[in-house]
Structure 1
């Protein structure tokens, strides 16, 4: 049985957070550097592009590994990285194609392991992470932030692994019409993946 905390004990606890600024601070606040974020949406609505923008921003603060398990690292993914303004000189963000969860465990147990891991897409990892796999990953690496990308079906994250990720997630982001709608245990709001195309989708009301 864990020790119960007084209100003072609770408020005295310290956490490591990302020192976000600007629109990122307005929408995300200063989120802790661990746990699970979920990004989901229908095809061609800006999931990967938006996730790359977030990964690129996080690389300002720590080492990021982006696992492009579904698309791989082909030309289309390369083009998406360019649209996300990822600097080729940025040594804090690395990319890989699909690797097994076992290989990911081995990577994360290394001394200079990444502190942010993007799993794109959970459809590929459904067999490995369904049931308690996602929960175990979070428990085994309590100081790592996992950003999980998922497809959408009937307005909900698709696959069992994605459903579990949504239950565990501190931040839930829905990509719709090239806008990221941010919610969860953060202030919340919207981020434009591409302002010009987002306006074409929504008309003049981009926060619809």
Structure 2
């Protein structure tokens, strides 16, 4: 059994965090380089687009190796269109993609030398069976130096599937995507990021000018 900590122990504890800047820092603060985030929303509201932009920030601006698992769309023509729409930089060598891989394959990949420090799983629905019976918590425990970002569908205003519901409960940061806006909450300052400022303004009944 581990010993109990004093207030001084806790205050002196060092945490590995991302040094976000600008608007990202205002909204996310300096999030830890571990744990889980959840991004959810209805179809055609900008989940993939917004997540690609966020992933570009991690990999290009923060300079960390990121793996985007496109389990739902695969490396399809529509996913290619999403990459083009997000205007991702082709010279960004920290941003890597895979289609669906099993949880077992992910374990093998993360156990290799120089693994990705951020893993995006799009969509958690495709891992519902693999992440049940405590497997989600085990994944986070087994890889304490990896940040996992899970995407989920929305049904009746909430993240869909039991795995997504659990993820919402344990996630440090929760992002609700609605009308091309990322609405950020959780253990961070919180706020809103526009995926496409003009279209988002029109959706939310504002004048883009």
Q: Fold-level match, TM-score > 0.5?
A: yes
Alpha-carbon distance in structure 1 between the residues aligned to 2:83 and 2:134: 32
CA contact (8 A) 1:69 1:98 kept: yes
Residue aligning to 1:45: 45
CA offset at residue 78 of structure 1? 1.1
Q: For 1:146-195, what per-residue CA distance to the aligned partner results, in whole angstroms no more than 9, with x for missing partners?
A: 00000001111101111111111000000000000000000000000110
Q: Give the TM-score normalised by the residue count of structure 2.
A: 0.96
Q: Give the TM-score normalised by the residue count of structure 1.
A: 0.96
Alpha-carbon distance in structure 1 between the residues aligned to 2:85 and 2:7: 46
Alpha-carbon distance in structure 2 between the residues aligned to 1:106 and 1:128: 15
Secondary structure of 1:167 counterpart: helix
CA offset at residue 2 of structure 1? 2.5
Alpha-carbon distance in structure 2 between the residues aligned to 1:38 and 1:55: 13
Secondary structure of 2:154 counterpart: strand
Gaps of 5+ in 1: none
CA offset at residue 83 of structure 1? 2.0
Residue aligning to 2:29: 29
Q: Which moved more, 1:58-67 or 1:2-11?
A: 2-11
Q: For 1:95-145, what per-residue CA distance to the aligned partner results, in whole angstroms no more than 9, with x for missing partners?
A: 010000000000000011101000000111111112311111101101100
CA offset at residue 85 of structure 1? 2.3
CA offset at residue 203 of structure 1? 1.2
For 1:30-179, what aligned pairs fall within 5 Å after superposition?
30-60=30-60, 61=62, 62-179=64-181
Gaps of 5+ in 2: none
Aligned length: 206
Alpha-carbon distance in structure 1 between the residues aligned to 2:114 and 2:10: 31
Residue aligning to 1:2: 2
Alpha-carbon distance in structure 2 between the residues aligned to 1:99 and 1:67: 8
Secondary structure of 2:4 counterpart: coil
Residue aligning to 2:13: 13
CA contact (8 A) 1:36 1:165 kept: yes
Return closer, same or farther for 1:93/1:2 CA change in 2, 3 Å cut-off. same
Over the aligned positions, Cα root-mean-square deviation in angstroms equals 1.2
CA offset at residue 205 of structure 1? 7.7
Alpha-carbon distance in structure 1 between the residues aligned to 2:132 and 2:49: 25
Provide runs of 4+ in structure 1 moved above 4 Å. none
Q: Which moved more, 1:23-32 or 1:125-134?
A: 125-134
Secondary structure of 1:127 counterpart: coil
